[in-house]
Amino acid sequence: MKTRNLGISAAAVCAMMSLTALGQIANSRHNFSSYGWSGGEICKPCHTPHNANTDVGFLWNHALSNATYTMHEGTGTAEANIDSRSRMCMGCHDGTVALDSFGGTTGDNFIGPGGLIGTDLTDDHPIGSDAIYPTATSTSYNPQDANHRVGTGSRVLRLRSWVDSTGTEQWVVGCSTCHTVHNSGNYPHMLRFSNASSALCLTCHIK
């Protein structure tokens, strides 16, 4: 794992977050501060001010998965087939890495069935290399804007950057396109907005 030493304190990391973001994570299912293995901290299981993993950024502190996934179009690893933010999600949600595997330690508390996606992704919405969003005008998909967002107003989804084996940047659907990790619980399954009447699905898909 690539690391770098950043001369800021844990308190400074929290200070960099907005009060709104802190309130969201405190009320979300990603707040593990009540579990003994978290050290009573909200941020530490995922982020660190020192010796962070620079492969994915975001001062990442949690172990990444080395699993091989069964994808819609074949098999592959997260590093080679999935955008960096989805790699972070799969570090817990594929069930091969323990929730308390962070800060260079190997834990033994694995995610429960309610949040387990597993390594067979063929029964899930395609992400990464299986979900390259078309750049041309399409009869099946709503267009991206110049910032690779889809939708308008309060209903906007963000595509994620993934670099393929040729070094070409592709814009793809990732876990964080539809879900937000710091969600306060306003919508089920940490969705970015309500999927009532399939509103979230129809943001991208023309039906």
> At residue 123, does pLDDT exceed 80?
yes
Strand, coil or helix: what is 141?
strand
Rounded Cα–Cα distance for residues 127 and 93 (Å): 14
121 pLDDT exceeds 70?
yes
Average pLDDT of every residue of the chain: 89
Strands in 13-102 per DSSP E: 52-53, 68-71, 74-77
Residue-wise pLDDT for 61-120, tens only, equals: 999 999 999 999 999 999 999 999 999 999 999 999 999 999 999 999 999 999 999 999
**Domain residues for 128?**
3-204
End-to-end CA distance of the chain: 43
Pull the structure tokens for residue 120.
């067979």
Q: Write out the H or E segment, with its range, that includes residue 152.
A: strand 149-152
List, in sequence order, the alpha helices (H) in the chain.
10-16, 19-26, 78-81, 84-93, 175-178, 199-204
Q: 98 with 109: CB under 8 angstroms?
A: yes
Task: Count how many domains the chain has.
Answer: 1
